[in-house]
């Protein structure tokens, strides 16, 4: 008899020929997650279990598994041999403090000689015999005693099925460079793409000394929170000060935000291509602010020529985004009151419907290309 944690993965993405690939990536991700806990991960047909750990670590194992994409559900369980005698003995020893129960037998190993229904009734009888004041409720029991008789002489007995975070294992889709600000949206955008299996890196623009060291540290903290779900990644930090000062000095102030964003996107694409990253991710959301209109996105999109831009939050309500931020633990950090470079030199009347030809004309007023090259040369790289 041994305490184990059963891990079930979503089968949706495992139907095709890529089964082994998805499963291997998931195994690697789980192993990395549990690296600092003494335990082993054992594969079975269409599920895994964690074994060989000290009981004090079980809660920690479960909370870490709840941060791994691709896991559908988790159950702390007891593993026993698949003989009728050992199952009977174990189930007879169960003591409940709840009143109603049912037994659900799953006979994945069809060589087990008794049918699931028949055996469930028999085990229910053993529980009734050994517990006072309990009764069977098949439809709405307080405890569902699950007895899962599997291949390789393994039977699992458990009560709880804890939801995992679902999604696809990180590393099973192409990669993305997340434009990470200190706000609420962009960490959630990174999380959403990672949930689809995308490994991410991040790029942050700061305007020191207009923005503070604290603002940058806040972004590092946000990156650490995202990395709980994505694994380690690189955070590129880019100084935007000179670029912003140049736009401010040379261009019509109405264009400040639009031009800033066009330059951010140019830098993002070049950094992504240099690093072999296949897409750009932003936390943009339709209609939220002046720079997030269809017209604004058209002129910013226009500078990105080779890569797709993913905006997973485009149609979300702020409330929905906030809910996810709270769930993933980024919200508290996001609302710390440090300024973002987008709020420096903010014009009184930013353009809501910028025109591409006018943006190009404004940009011709200064040599942004050499500033971009310089900014990329001086990128700081932080391993998260
Ligand atoms: P967020 O909450 O993510 O900051 P927001 O609602 O404040 O978003 P904007 O400031 O318009 O919206 O930014 C839109 C997107 O542009 C952000 O979600 C982020 O992807 C990117 N972005 C904004 N500022 C920065 C920055 N300083 N560094 C990197 N990316 C940024
Ligand atoms: Mg912002």
Assess contact for 322 and 228: CB atoms under 8 A. Answer: no
Candidate of 176, 180, 181 to mutate for ligand 1, largest count of ligand atoms within 8 Å of Cβ: 181
- Between CA 56 and CA 175 the distance in angstroms is 37
Q: Are residues 122 and 252 in the same domain?
A: no
User: How remote is the CA of residue 284 from the centroid of ligand 2, in Å?
Assistant: 9
Please tell me the predicted confidence (pLDDT) of residue 15. 63
Residue 228 Cα to ligand 2 midpoint, Å, equals: 22
Provide φ and ψ at 111, rounded to 5°. -75, -15
Identify the pLDDT of residue 14: 62
**169 located within any domain:** no
**199 and 143 within one domain:** no
Asked if 227 and 136 sit in the same domain, the reply is: no
Instruction: Choose one of 163, 185, 220: the last residue of a domain.
Output: 163
Residues 186 and 329 in one domain: yes
How many whole angstroms separate alpha carbon 76 and alpha carbon 5?
Answer: 4
Distance (angstroms) between ligand 2 centre and the Cα of 283 equals: 9
Which ligand has the shortest distance to the CA of 211?
1
Ligand nearest to the CA of 300: 1
d(CA 47, CA 11): 10
**Nearest Cα to 222, choosing from 327, 331, 306, 295?**
331
Q: How far is the CA of 342 from the centre of ligand 2 (A)?
A: 7
Do residues 62 and 114 share a domain?
A: yes
Give the closest ligand to the alpha carbon of residue 334: 1
Mark whether 227 and 305 lie in a shared domain.
yes
Q: Where are the beta strands (DSSP E) in 58-171?
A: 71-81, 100-107, 135-136, 143-150, 154-158, 162-166
* Closest ligand 1 atom, residue 179 Cα: 30
Which of 111, 140, 163 lies at the terminal end of a domain, its last residue?
A: 163
225 is a domain residue: yes
Of 163, 191, 210, which marks where a domain is finished?
163
Protein residue with its CA nearest to atom 4 in ligand 1: 183
Q: How far is the CA of 382 from the centre of ligand 1 (A)?
A: 19
Q: Name the burial class of residue 213, with classes exposed (0-12), middle (13-18) and buried (19+) by CB atoms within 10 angstroms of its CB.
A: exposed
In a domain, 109, yes or no: yes
Q: Is 52 in the same domain as 158?
A: yes
List the chain pLDDT tens, one digit each, 384 residues: 999 999 999 766 666 777 888 999 999 999 999 999 999 999 988 889 999 999 999 999 999 999 999 999 999 999 999 999 999 999 999 988 778 999 999 998 888 999 999 999 999 999 999 998 899 999 999 999 999 999 888 999 999 899 999 999 999 999 999 999 999 999 999 999 999 999 999 999 999 888 888 999 999 999 999 999 999 999 999 999 999 999 999 998 888 989 999 999 999 999 999 999 999 999 999 987 777 899 999 999 999 999 999 999 999 999 999 999 999 999 999 999 877 766 777 777 878 899 999 999 999 998 899 999 999 999 999 999
pTM: 0.92
Q: What was the pLDDT predicted at 124?
A: 95
265 in a structural domain: yes
Q: How many angstroms separate the most distant Cα atoms in the chain?
A: 88
- Position 47 scores a pLDDT of 87
Pocket test for ligand 1, best of 244, 283, 304, 337 (most atoms within 8 A of CB): 283
Nearest-atom number in ligand 1 for the CA of 240 is 27
Host domain of residue 94 = 2-163
Q: Which residues line ligand 1 (CB under 6 A)?
A: 179-181, 183-186, 203-205, 282-284, 288-289, 291-292, 340-342
* CA 373 and chain centroid, separation: 33
The answer on 240 and 336 residing in a single domain is yes
Query: Tell me, what CATH number does 306's domain have?
Result: 3.40.50.620
Residue 170 counted as domain residue: no
**Same domain? 136 vs 227:** no
Write the CATH number for 122. 3.30.2130.30
Test site for ligand 1: of 203, 256, 316, 342, most ligand atoms within 8 A of the Cβ: 342
Residue 171 lies inside a defined structural domain of this protein? no
One domain, residues 149 and 213: no
CA of 176 to the centre of ligand 1 (A): 16
Please tell me the predicted confidence (pLDDT) of residue 13: 62
Q: Is residue 113 part of a domain?
A: yes
- Residue bearing the CA closest to ligand 1, atom 10: 342
Residues 313 and 364 in one domain: yes
Whether residue 196 sits in one domain with residue 157: no
Residue 374 lies in a domain: yes
Residue 62: other Cβ atoms inside 10 A: 18
How many structural domains are present in the chain?
2
């Amino acid at each position: 008899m041994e305490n184990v944690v059963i891990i079930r993965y979503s089968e949706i993405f495992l139907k095709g020929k890529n089964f082994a690939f998805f499963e291997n990536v998931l195994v690697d991700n789980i192993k990395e997650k549990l690296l600092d806990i003494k335990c082993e991960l054992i594969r079975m047909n269409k599920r895994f279990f964690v074994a060989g750990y000290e009981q004090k670590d079980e809660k920690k194992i479960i909370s870490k598994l709840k941060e791994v994409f691709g896991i559908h559900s988790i159950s702390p369980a007891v593993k026993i041999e698949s003989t009728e005698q050992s199952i009977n003995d174990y189930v007879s020893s169960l003591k409940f403090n709840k009143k109603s129960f049912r037994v659900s037998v799953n006979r994945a190993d069809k060589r087990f000689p008794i049918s699931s229904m028949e055996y469930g009734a028999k085990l229910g009888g053993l529980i009734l015999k050994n517990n006072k004041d309990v009764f069977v409720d098949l439809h709405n029991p307080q405890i569902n005693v699950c007895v899962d008789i599997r291949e390789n002489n393994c039977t699992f007995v458990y009560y709880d099925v804890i939801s995992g975070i679902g999604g696809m294992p990180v590393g099973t889709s192409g990669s993305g460079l997340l434009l990470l600000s200190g706000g609420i949206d962009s960490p959630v955008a990174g999380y959403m793409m990672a949930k689809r299996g995308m490994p991410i890196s991040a790029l942050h623009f700061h305007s020191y000394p207009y923005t503070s060291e604290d603002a940058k540290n806040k972004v590092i903290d946000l990156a650490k929170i995202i990395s709980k779900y994505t694994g380690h990644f690189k955070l590129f930090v880019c100084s935007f000060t000179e670029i912003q000062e140049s736009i401010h000095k040379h261009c019509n102030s109405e264009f400040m935000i639009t031009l800033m964003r066009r330059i951010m996107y140019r830098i993002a694409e070049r950094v992504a291509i240099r690093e072999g990253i296949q897409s750009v991710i932003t936390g943009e959301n339709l209609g939220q602010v002046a720079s997030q209109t269809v017209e604004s996105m058209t002129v910013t999109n226009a500078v990105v020529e080779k890569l797709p831009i993913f905006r997973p939050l485009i149609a979300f309500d702020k409330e929905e985004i906030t809910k996810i931020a709270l769930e993933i633990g980024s919200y508290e950090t996001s609302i710390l009151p440090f300024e973002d470079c987008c709020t420096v030199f903010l014009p009184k009347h930013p353009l809501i419907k910028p025109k591409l030809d006018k943006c190009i004309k404004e940009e011709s007023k200064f040599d942004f290309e050499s500033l971009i090259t310089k900014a990329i040369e001086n990128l700081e790289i932080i391993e998260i």
